[in-house]
Amino acid sequence: MRNRTAALLLLPGLVLLVVGFLVPSLIMLFSPPGIEPAQIFVRFGEMLTDPYDLRIIGRTVGIGLIVTVICVSLGFPIAYLLARSTSRWSGVLLALAIFPLLLSNVVRTFGWLVVLGSNGAIGQALLALGLVDKAPQLLYTELAIVLGLTQLFLPLAIISCYSAVAQVDAGLDDAARGLGASRTRTFWSIVIPLSLPGIVVAATLVFAGSVTAYTTPYLLGGSSQRMLSTQLFSYSSVTIDWASASATALIMTILVFLVSGLSSLVGRRGAIS
């Protein structure tokens, strides 16, 4: 392929990327209408010290970490069992784990309203069992957000872990067993270390997804449990505070870039050793 042909093929894509993504994002982050770049950094600094903003950042990062830990600790066993199973059901179960990725977040999150709402399944069940006098408020809590985000990102964790475990030769499990390692020991000393790159990818995807997700904190957290994403939306369409919106967007973007950078660093070190 000639250089001119290659350039011609790239051109439309580059234009779209620059005009429809890069330039607007950079201007929005650093110089929104009527705002000096310095103002954004001032606001950025304030957010990192102001107790109200800090609580939102802390909640976002905290929930992100909890969801990451849960998704990896549920997703890895699922991936491991599916990758090692010889049953014909494992294909069906794998498809069932991937399927939610195709399904709208709104549909998936909406389910929790039915489960956790005051007229929902859990509340009514507790009432019927006589364990409580009044259905407890489970919605608009951090627990609700954690559950919703776990449901959302578990499939991603499963896929990443699955492709990692599937690459670990099952013969290694056999070899370790033959040398005297129990199933548990084999799992921790062979399977886990060798699938670590996949686990890191899974954790990164889940964390980045959790700290930027909008639908779930909006529906399940409401206005009482604000996260960075719901806060960003409110700055940009309710209060129209461009400086705060840009500073919030900056924090979110930095968070995601930080984890991605960190994980590729870990990945690279893993590849060397």
Among 127, 233, 234, 262, binds other proteins (CB under 8 A): 233
Query: Are the C-beta atoms of residues 152 and 216 closer than 8 Å to each other?
Result: yes
d(CA 86, CA 68): 29
Identity of the residue, 39 or 212, whose beta carbon is nearer to other proteins in the bound complex: 212
Identity of the residue, 57 or 155, whose beta carbon is nearer to other proteins in the bound complex: 155
Q: Supply the minimum distance, in Å, between the C-beta of residue 52 and other proteins.
A: 20
Q: Which stretch binds other proteins (CB under 8 A): 44-52, 54-62, 136-144, 225-233?
A: 225-233
d(CA 203, CA 207): 6
With binding defined as CB under 8 A, does residue 193 bind other proteins?
A: yes
Name the residue among 215, 234, 208 with its Cα closest to residue 144.
Answer: 215
Identity of the residue, 104 or 137, whose beta carbon is nearer to other proteins in the bound complex: 104
Q: Which residues, in sequence order, are CB contacts of 214 under 8 Å at separation 6+?
A: 229, 230, 233
Among 38, 130, 131, 237, binds other proteins (CB under 8 A): 237
DSSP letters for 96-149: HHHGGGGS-HHHHHHHHHHHHSTTSHHHHHHHHTTS-SS----TTSHHHHHHHH
Contact mark string toward other proteins, 17..46, x via CB under 8 A: x-xxxxxxx-xxx--xx-------------
With binding defined as CB under 8 A, does residue 182 bind other proteins?
A: yes
What residues between 81 and 120 interact with other proteins by CB under 8 A? Answer: 81, 93-108, 110-115, 117, 119-120
